[in-house]
Amino acid sequence: MWNGLLNVYKEAGYTSNDVVARLRGILRQKKIGHTGTLDPAAVGVLPVLLGTACRLSEYLTDHDKTYRAVLRLGVTTDTQDMTGTVLNEAGQAQLKALSEHEIAQAAFFFQGGYDQVPPMYSAKQIGGKRLYDLAREGKVVERKPVHVEIPKIEIEEISLPLVTLKIDCSKGTYIRTLCADIGERLGVGGAMEHLERLRVGGFFIGDSLSLGRIEALSKSGELAPYVIPCEEMFLDCLRVRTIPEADRKLLNGNELTMRELGLPPRGGGDMIRVCDSAGTFYALYRQMPSAGTYRPYRMLRPPEE
């Protein structure tokens, strides 16, 4: 069974769950998950978790992201992208009256972050129901704004009615909604025409593999170098080995003392990578402030029965 992470290039027409289903067939294993949904029409980086790496999903979904989005000005849709039903269209005179300076100012207004209202067509749950399910029933419910961070917005091209943007943002940012909000600020409406995810944390589009490429590498037995070991996601954490007498406690996911971890009295930081005495990586441990011990934060190899 594969254990680790794959940087997958999600092609248009696939849902994130479709990618997981295809990989289960290609790799012949069930334990596979993804770290963040991309709309079917969107393309780009989709980190996929294999085997024990599935336990890292919470950690990876916290990463910031970079997108390239094409905004179509002058149109408003119910989904905030061009897959939805058009609700309103601005006149050509309104669009022609827009200057590049005005468009830039409207986009840069959101740089730094703002309180964003999640779209109705999203997987967010309210009252135990997905918003997109409510939207399909013709219902619109009140959504509380969520603060999102947008450290940087670049305008790569303006060719009205299309504006190409490159956006660095925090988790939970809806780029569709950002496009709609820019259009609203300009007074002409806007909807997302195209979306490409360029980066998720340390995963970049230039290193991503299509499903076809993964299948070919798997068949030829050359996939291993592309499966990123779980430990490499935590290189900023101190790596320690247990003393031989503590190996059994580590394998069973027990709390460990400083002495058993070979650490000085002050410890090795809040989070450490813990290996057995032979150097095999097993888990992330977090320091307990009062007890002078470390407890498992995430076990990445299953404890022995």
Active site residues: 39
Instruction: For residue 191, count CB atoms less than 10 angstroms from its CB and return exposed for 0-12, middle for 13-18, buried for 19 or more.
Output: buried
- The Cβ of residue 77 has, within 10 Å, a number of other Cβ atoms equal to 22
DSSP-based three-state secondary structure for 302:
coil
Structure token pair of residue 235: 């290189």
CA dihedral 84, 85, 89, 95 (to 10 degrees): 10
For 254, left (φ over 0), alpha (ψ -120 to 50), or beta? beta
| Contact (Cβ atoms closer than 8 angstroms) between residue 23 and residue 1 | no
**Mutual angle of helices 211-220 and 16-27, in 10-degree steps:** 10
Q: Which residues pair with 114 in a beta bridge?
A: 148
Core vs surface per residue 94-108: b (16+ CB within 10 A) or e: ebeebeeeebeebbe
CA angle 14, 16, 18 (to 5 degrees): 55
